[in-house]
Amino acid sequence: MSDGMDRRRFLKVLGVAGGGAAALTGCGIGPEPTEKLIPYVIPPEDQTPGLATWYASTCRECGAGCGLHVKVREGRAIKLEGNPDSPVNHGHLCARGQAGLQGLYNPDRITGPLQRNAAGILEPTTWDKAIAALQQQVAAARGKGIVFVTGVETGSFGELVDEWMQQVGGRHVTYEPFAFEALREGNRLAFGDATIPTYDFAAAGYIMSFGADFMETWLSPVGFQNAFTRSHSFESGQNASMAKFVFVGPRLPQTGLIADEWIAINPGTEGMLALAMAQVIVSKRLGNVPPDAARLGLPAAADVAKAIGVDLPVIERLATEFTRTSAPLAVTGGMATHYPNGREIVAAVNVLNYVAGAVGKTVKFGADLAQGLAGQHADMATLTTDLAGGRVALLLVHGANPMHTLGGSFAQAWGKAGFRVSFSSYLDETAAGSDLVLPDLHPLEQWNDSRPRAGVYALQQPAMMPVFDGTKHTGDVLLQVSGKGGTFKSYLQGTWSALQKRLGGKGAFEDWWDAALQHGGIYGDAPSRTVRLAANALAGQSTTGMAAGGEVAVVFPHAALHDGRGANKPWLQELPDPVSKITWHGWVEVHPETADTWQVASGDYLLVKSRFGAVSAPVWITPSIRPGVVALPTGQGHKAYGRYAKDRSFNGFDLLPGEPNAYGGRTHVVSVTLTKTGEHRKLATSEGSTREHGAQVVTVLPLNEARGLKVGELDEEEIPEYAREAERGWADAQHESASLGNYAGEHPRWAMAIDLTKCTGCSACVTACYAENNLATVGEELVVRRREMSWMRIERYWRGDPAAPSGAAVTPMLCQQCGSAPCEPVCPVFAAYHTVDGLNGQVYNRCVGTRYCSNNCPYKVRYFNWFNYAERGGEFEAWPEPLSWLLNPDVTVREKGVMEKCTFCVQRIRATQHKARLEDRQVRDGEIVPACAQTCPSEAIVFGDLNSPTSRVHALSNDPRGYHVLARLNTKPGITYLARVVAGGEA
Amino acid sequence: MIAVAGGSLAAQAAQPAPGTPGYRAPIITDTSRLPGPRQPIFFRHDIHAGQDRIPCMYCHNTVAVSSEPGMPALRTCFGCHQIIGGTTPAHQAEIAKVRKAWSDRTAPQWIRVYWLPGFVHFPHMRHIKVLGTGPESCANCHGAVNGMTQISQVSTLKMGWCISCHMARNVSRDCSLCHY
């Protein structure tokens, strides 16, 4: 059979078609010389050439444990989608989850075991030798200190490591650079329960986040975002209501973009604000205050207001609003839980939840979310001391890169370890410094499991054969080294067999196991238990903020690259940061006032220096941060980790202390000095302007106004008479041409509705589009020249006063599939044309690259191939082997000189039409789901046939909130946006 | 064995059509004049489909459900040819290649005859759905395969050729039907 790769070579053939190939077959278009069809020897049972097979698995890009459906074509995983069965993510994925494929096919994966030779160079070895070397080292190190560092592991692999460490007398340390020490310790302080509860965003009537970036990196971002939009959304109608969302923090992260109100608080005083609110609630007896709240001894709100610089009326209003609903929810996390007083902030927010009656209602203990199970930073500090003291003879690292994230004293002590082993799939800083590298399989190639929360057991199964034969499941290696023998799969089945007994699963194990595999795991409810407020819940509270004289720097996790693990994936590098819109590089966020003080412009470098280190970072001036505070992302600054990550920008972790703070966590907010270096860099940003200049790209409505809105009101535009006349002429012409040939008869009109009240700007859709439609990543240099290929982009504007915005407004911008498209009439070769089903077609093989269409597009959503991004070894090669394996065989790979744009995933439309036709039926509403809509954690995008009166998209396009971007241009877009509704202010 | 090659006109006229009972595929003594590329194994559709009347979909078994017709796995070949060894030395020599390939677990590398550039998406299943699964339906584009000693391309596969059929049958000619 065809290996599915032939389509990808497509346009090269254009050259051949014009000339040489004719000789081969005597036809106009012929095969490339000696194109081969190589059949299977034995056909795999579950593969049909040309059709996709789906495997359920679990995403391991972070510890949240989202369920996956892996799309496999001809034996290769080509797309990841969320598993709708999973209660963790309800069928959706974030950008990082989507990019898991680029870890699988990463061109910088280690292809086989490596061992450091006498000259000190890592050189390839065999598995037999490597495992013998490991066995020898383990035997020699017994009793002299063996430490195994892994990421958060909540399943059988973690148990195996524990068992092995017990056997050899070593210890197992789990390490996540952004761990949840403050949350656990704060919960212990307030409730005497150091576990992580579930937060029921879906049931909440009012949501306050004290720093928690719960849609980006915090605990379970996809699930939280999905639940959040269930309560924070607007359904039209006079009595329509929505939960208000208030974000409290010194800077707006992506999570804050959707906030109805932003309180730019002095870092460190978040907890005091929560306590002041609690005091107002208790003293004014707002809501159902529990009887034991009176004995808390809450600080007077008026005093707190003065001390933390938030006006008393604001505090009182927040307290009133918070208790007006029966199900309020306050969460704290993100950077607020990485301050020196993070534990106290958590305790304070717990108290607020408690007095407002949220505990047990929207905050439920018992689930113990998996991400929170990572060890403490203090464990790594102890390890550093042990290393420095020569007390570690053998150090093994799996699923963590402490040489990058800890650096400093850890890196110095690293050399003191007797022998270092890495199980990394990539040559990251830690692997590069190891004596033995035993590359693990990628999570998509291996058997494994995890426990995202109590009651939920998620399975991973190999979706394909390993990309590199020389890699080996670390579980298999450990079983061999420990003498247990067998494969990790059988070990896993052993633990699952025990699980079946424990859960009382019925039937034979094989049947139970197969059913679990099909669904991606076993999904049960988390047990719930009540907690009581501890007597000393308010110990250690203080009103002192951190930004009191001098600058403080917040080192926050990059939304896409996280702690740096995403930096080797070009999709994530090229994904504009949801807030700053900067790609491929780090930045330091500086308020305009602070920028004036330092006389810097965006792109000027500042040397940011703390007591622990210094980094040089280009300035991004933004009103989304509090004056006097600067903020830098982690994620970049790798010294190894492959071609996409190495030597790029700065490492934010360098600014941070290695010592643990009072609650065993790592402090991410440090005092810094700033110095202008005189260097400048043009930032690779995808942003055009921070303001809309009256274009009303995002229509924002207060809740009161949205309630009274009539259908069509938002689109009402003054259209001049000449335009009306032109429109009439156009309509006549359309009427005439609509009766011709192909166009005659009834056709669907494919259309989309995007609810901007639901869209949070998380950008998962952008990466999903890259994955589905073979979009090339072009690199920093070309992004600077505005040549990115992102068919879908998220535009972010500031709301309100430009100097002190009240928040942000975001919108996905993609081809509007205009009914009267400006791009179509200007194409001299009919490459841009109107399809019968209402799409703006773009025929790549017809396009000659005049770029007239792009010039004439008012939405600027057409993208031109300036280079041949698919060229092997080319300067701008986007898919070096084996990255090209992830290309979608159903979508043409475009060549140099061709214009491209969003197609509404026409390949999915056609595939669904084929399927419906084979089953002798019509396409059902909701059956066609474009990649963006599929992955959207907020379910903000609805796709369907506008001409069908029963379709969802038809109903939504007639929603009172519906409007069309730049409607006055008479482009008749196929995308209806539903206006962003901002809650707050209304009675 | 009936010798047909070089037979008289009358003898050929008496021969039933390929794919009907009694049809005997010709004995080929000179392969150099056969149209189409020479394949690694001299696989004869006229024997398999014409004389033995094996349905097309016995081997190309995904054609009704997928865009790809499916090339038979070597196991499919061997399924019959572990028993059927051929009656003439020439046939036996070719079948021996199949058996060797099976024992080596190496699939033959067939030379592709029908080929479309990557920017054309051709759904086989839709055409089979309309035209049916019999050899006469495949013949619309691939010619009378059951009479072909060696496969050669009989239609141009140019866009005009596609369109003319789509116009004659009054089905969609929209560009984005195939180009995306």
Summarised one tens digit per residue, pLDDT across range A481-517 is 999 999 999 999 999 999 999 999 999 999 999 999 9
> Which residue in chain A is spatially nearest to B98 when comparing CA positions?
A41
Q: In this complex, do A29 and B116 lie within 8 Å of one another by their Cβ atoms?
A: yes
Q: Which of residues 664-693 of A touch B (CB under 8 A)?
A: none
Q: Nearest CA to CA, how far is A76 from chain B (Å)?
A: 16
Residue-level pLDDT at B13: 56
Q: Nearest CA to CA, how far is A10 from chain B (Å)?
A: 4
Q: Residue A914 is nearest to which of B68, B112, B125, comparing CB atoms?
A: B125
| pLDDT over 50 (residue A8) | no
> Which residue in chain A is spatially nearest to B71 when comparing CA positions?
A1
> Torsion-angle region of residue A906: left (phi > 0), alpha (psi -120 to 50) or beta?
alpha
DSSP state of B51: I
**C-alpha torsion sign, points A128, A130, A131, A132:** positive
For A220-234, the pLDDT digits (tens) are 999 999 999 999 999
A-chain residues near B71 (CB < 8 A):
1-2, 37, 39, 49
- Beta strands A36-37 and B110-111, pairing class: antiparallel
Residue-level pLDDT at A13: 32
For A799-816, the pLDDT digits (tens) are 888 788 889 999 999 999
- DSSP secondary structure of A511-551: HHHHHHHHHTEEE-PPP-B-----TTTTTT-----S-SSSE
Name the percent of chain A lying above pLDDT 90: 82
- Asked if A288 has any chain B CB less than 8 Å from its own CB, the reply is no
Residue-level pLDDT at B10: 46
> Which residue in chain A is spatially nearest to B129 when comparing CA positions?
A918
Residue-level pLDDT at A294: 82
For A907-927, the pLDDT digits (tens) are 999 999 999 999 999 999 999
Q: In this complex, do A10 and B119 lie within 8 Å of one another by their Cβ atoms?
A: yes
Q: In this complex, do A40 and B66 lie within 8 Å of one another by their Cβ atoms?
A: no
Q: How confident is the model at residue A984 (pLDDT cuts 50, 70, 90)?
A: confident
Please state the φ and ψ torsions of residue A708, each to the nearest 5 degrees: -90, 10
Q: Which candidate, A565, A564, A572, places its Cα nearest to that of A649? A: A564
- Asked if B86 has any chain A CB less than 8 Å from its own CB, the reply is no
Distance in angstroms (rounded) separating the CA atoms of residues A674 and A598: 8
Average pLDDT of chain B, as a whole number: 90
Distance in angstroms (rounded) separating the CA atoms of residues A667 and A339: 5
Q: Which of residues 918-977 of A touch B (CB under 8 A)?
A: 918
Q: Nearest CA to CA, how far is A890 from chain B (Å)?
A: 8
| pLDDT over 50 (residue A14) | no
- Asked if B103 has any chain A CB less than 8 Å from its own CB, the reply is no
- Averaged pLDDT for residues A617-644: 96
- Beta strands A669-680 and A700-702, pairing class: unpaired
Buried b (16+ CB within 10 A) or exposed e, A100-132: bbbbbbbbbbbebbbbbeeeeebeebebeebbe
Q: In this complex, do B111 and A34 lie within 8 Å of one another by their Cβ atoms?
A: yes
- Asked if B169 has any chain A CB less than 8 Å from its own CB, the reply is no
- Asked if A237 has any chain B CB less than 8 Å from its own CB, the reply is no
C-alpha to C-alpha distances, A691 to A456, A786, A803, nearest whole angstrom: 45, 19, 12
- Asked if A890 has any chain B CB less than 8 Å from its own CB, the reply is yes
- Asked if B143 has any chain A CB less than 8 Å from its own CB, the reply is no
| pLDDT over 60 (residue B71) | yes
| pLDDT over 70 (residue A520) | yes
- Give the mutation candidate from B116, B174, B176, B177 for the A interface (greatest A CB count, under 10 A): B176
Q: Nearest CA to CA, how far is B67 from chain A (Å)?
A: 6
Residue-level pLDDT at A919: 97
- Asked if A499 has any chain B CB less than 8 Å from its own CB, the reply is no
Q: In this complex, do A845 and B179 lie within 8 Å of one another by their Cβ atoms?
A: yes
- Averaged pLDDT for residues A729-735: 73
Residue-level pLDDT at A718: 65
Residue-level pLDDT at A549: 65
| pLDDT over 90 (residue A44) | no
Residue-level pLDDT at A11: 31
> Which residue in chain A is spatially nearest to B106 when comparing CA positions?
A41
Residue-level pLDDT at B3: 41
- Averaged pLDDT for residues B71-88: 94
Q: Which residue has the tokens 């001894």?
A: A297
Amino acid letter for position A541: Q
Q: In this complex, do B121 and A910 lie within 8 Å of one another by their Cβ atoms?
A: yes
> Which residue in chain B is spatially nearest to A916 when comparing CA positions?
B126
| pLDDT over 60 (residue A519) | yes
Distance in angstroms (rounded) separating the CA atoms of residues A335 and A540: 19
Q: In this complex, do A39 and B73 lie within 8 Å of one another by their Cβ atoms?
A: yes
Q: In this complex, do A37 and B71 lie within 8 Å of one another by their Cβ atoms?
A: yes
- Asked if B137 has any chain A CB less than 8 Å from its own CB, the reply is no
| pLDDT over 50 (residue A264) | yes
Tokens (6 digits) for A50: 């040309």
A-chain residues near B172 (CB < 8 A):
742, 836
Q: In this complex, do A36 and B119 lie within 8 Å of one another by their Cβ atoms?
A: no
Residue-level pLDDT at A946: 96
Residue-level pLDDT at A30: 43
Are A629 and A551 in contact, with CB atoms under 8 Å apart? yes
Q: Residue B107 is nearest to which of A40, A846, A914, comparing CB atoms?
A: A40
Q: How confident is the model at residue A708 (pLDDT cuts 50, 70, 90)?
A: confident
Q: Nearest CA to CA, how far is A473 from chain B (Å)?
A: 27
> Which residue in chain A is spatially nearest to B72 when comparing CA positions?
A39
Are A196 and A219 in contact, with CB atoms under 8 Å apart? yes
Residue-level pLDDT at A316: 97
Q: In this complex, do A843 and B179 lie within 8 Å of one another by their Cβ atoms?
A: yes
Q: Residue A48 is nearest to which of B66, B117, B153, comparing CB atoms?
A: B66
Lowest mean pLDDT among A384-393, A542-551, A930-939: A542-551
Q: How confident is the model at residue A688 (pLDDT cuts 50, 70, 90)?
A: confident
Distance in angstroms (rounded) separating the CA atoms of residues A12 and A34: 16
Distance in angstroms (rounded) separating the CA atoms of residues A364 and A358: 9
Q: In this complex, do A892 and B179 lie within 8 Å of one another by their Cβ atoms?
A: yes
Tokens (6 digits) for A248: 């409290």
Q: Which of residues 735-794 of A touch B (CB under 8 A)?
A: 741-742
Top pLDDT among A386 and A293 is at A386
Q: Which of residues 51-110 of A touch B (CB under 8 A)?
A: 51
Q: In this complex, do A890 and B121 lie within 8 Å of one another by their Cβ atoms?
A: yes
Tokens (6 digits) for B158: 């140019």
Could you tell me if the ipTM is greater than 0.90? yes
- Asked if B104 has any chain A CB less than 8 Å from its own CB, the reply is no
The Cα diameter of chain A in Å comes to 94
Q: In this complex, do B117 and A1 lie within 8 Å of one another by their Cβ atoms?
A: no
Q: How confident is the model at residue B1 (pLDDT cuts 50, 70, 90)?
A: very low
- Asked if A503 has any chain B CB less than 8 Å from its own CB, the reply is no
Residue-level pLDDT at A367: 85
Average pLDDT of chain A, as a whole number: 91
Q: In this complex, do A843 and B125 lie within 8 Å of one another by their Cβ atoms?
A: no
Top pLDDT among A690 and A340 is at A340
- Asked if A916 has any chain B CB less than 8 Å from its own CB, the reply is no
A-chain residues near B111 (CB < 8 A):
34-37
Are A327 and A362 in contact, with CB atoms under 8 Å apart? yes
Q: How confident is the model at residue A670 (pLDDT cuts 50, 70, 90)?
A: very high
**Sequence-distant (≥ 6) Cβ neighbours of residue A74 within 8 angstroms:** A1, A3, A4, A47, A49, A889
Tokens (6 digits) for A713: 């009101």
**C-alpha torsion sign, points A799, A800, A805, A807:** negative
> Which residue in chain B is spatially nearest to A7 when comparing CA positions?
B118
- Give the mutation candidate from A834, A839, A892, A895 for the B interface (greatest B CB count, under 10 A): A892
Lowest mean pLDDT among A32-36, A615-619, B169-173: A32-36
A-chain residues near B113 (CB < 8 A):
25, 31
Chains A, B: CB pairs < 8 Å: 155
Q: How confident is the model at residue A716 (pLDDT cuts 50, 70, 90)?
A: low
- Averaged pLDDT for residues A29-35: 55
A-chain residues near B132 (CB < 8 A):
none
Residue-level pLDDT at A371: 80
